[in-house]
Copies of this chain bind each other. A is one copy, B any other.
């Protein structure tokens, strides 16, 4: 699916978060490419009036509260109507999997294991559900080939790839000397 930055008469270009709103090819806002807050704003679930609130935390809480309907799915006594993940939840989930996969990668991988990890990251950059994030990752691994010779190499490479995204999102960098404690050993040992 191609995601475009689009502005029509009725489509806001910027969300409440201040970020650009991303649209799918069919002109609908892209769920997995925007934050929940912005998605709700652009689909009319949150009005512009909220923009006057001073605290971003308040906005986020309001969004979370309206997003999680407690209604049960028809026929179920346990599953509630949870909405699809937004770009942030998707990001957190995927980094968790990727870092943990690196942390459990063999210390001395076989040629087959190296090939599979390389291919996994390559395909990941094609199928990742946020299209613009996927393109960014694809470009990153083209310019910074995944280091797959050992667990230590891969764990550090993944940390650096994540930091590249952190920088882009204006988040602080993680000190990659601690990647093993964060994703494999924990902090007590």
Given A79-B172, A89-B96, A90-B97, answer yes or no on A84-B32 (Cβ-Cβ < 8 Å): no
- On A, residues with C-beta under 8 Å from B are 1, 31-32, 43, 45, 69, 71, 73-79, 81-85, 89-90, 92-94, 96-97, 100-101, 103-106, 113, 116-117, 119-120, 123-124, 126-129, 131, 172, 174-175, 178, 181-188
New A-B pairs, 13, CB < 8 Å, besides A79-B172, A116-B126 = A1-B104, A1-B106, A32-B103, A73-B174, A74-B175, A76-B172, A84-B186, A85-B96, A85-B100, A92-B93, A103-B129, A117-B123, A120-B123
A96 CA to B126 CA in the complex, in Å? 17
Counting every copy of the chain, the complex holds 2
CA gap between A43 and B45 in the complex, in Å: 47
Q: In the assembled complex, which residues on chain B have CB atoms less than 8 Å from the CB atom of A81?
A: 181, 187
Contact in complex: A77, B172 (CB < 8 Å): yes
Measured between C-beta atoms, what is the minimum distance from A24 to chain B in Å?
Answer: 10
